[in-house]
Structure 1
Amino acid sequence: MFGDISKAEKIYIACGYTDMRKSIDGFAALVQRNFQLNPFQNSLFLFCGRRHDRLKALYWEGDGFLLLYKRLEKGKFQWPKNAEAVRCITCQEFRWLMEGLCIDQPKAVKKLNTSDCFSL
């Protein structure tokens, strides 16, 4: 289906700011070169401009790339500022980001990694 990003297995956010003049090829090259990730994997890659009021998302649909663009009329995205980094975020963190919230919610209950737990 055209533009069904809900099928993405992982969501990556490019921290800092990105030149928003890039197109599909530019973002795919950035994913490969700067983050050493495969843009053809079933993942959503998010990029934000310097003003933090617009973002672009790159997604491989199996037969071609989809480039989504969102511009806020008021407000800014609470975008992580540590430049030159990529970060994998959860679906919940993605929702927070789209709602204008910080992805690092200090009071959010974090999911446990079951491999870190032991049986009683």
Structure 2
Amino acid sequence: MTEFPARYQTALRVAAWLGLAFVAMATLSPLGLRPTTGWPPSIERFLAFALVGGLFAAAYPRYILFAAAIVLGAALLFEILQVLAPSRHGRLFDAAVKLSGGTVGLIAGWLAVRWMPRR
């Protein structure tokens, strides 16, 4: 399996963790502070987790199970934490959308790195 050069690998890892932090903020902040795109919320959720999943898979291609545990675990954890937030609500459907997006992103990112030309 190929990997990106070290400087790109570091940038990917920083982007992956910052992306996850942004998703956490958007998911757990009060509803009025949640950024929106104007798209349906399910599409936003799916795409957010697909992007984060792709970043984690590309950043940690040799540790894809670690990347999956972080992304999919975060999807579940964020949904559970929404139950505790007074202005938010966690729903099983939302968790399924986040898990689906994260899985698609993980697979796409892992395949992109795997099919990358070898140096």
Between 1 and 2, higher relative CO (CA 8 Å, sep ≥ 6) is seen in 2
**TM-score after normalising by structure 2:** 0.26
Q: Quick check: which one's helix share is greater?
A: 2
**TM-score after normalising by structure 1:** 0.26
Q: Quick check: which one's strand share is greater?
A: 1
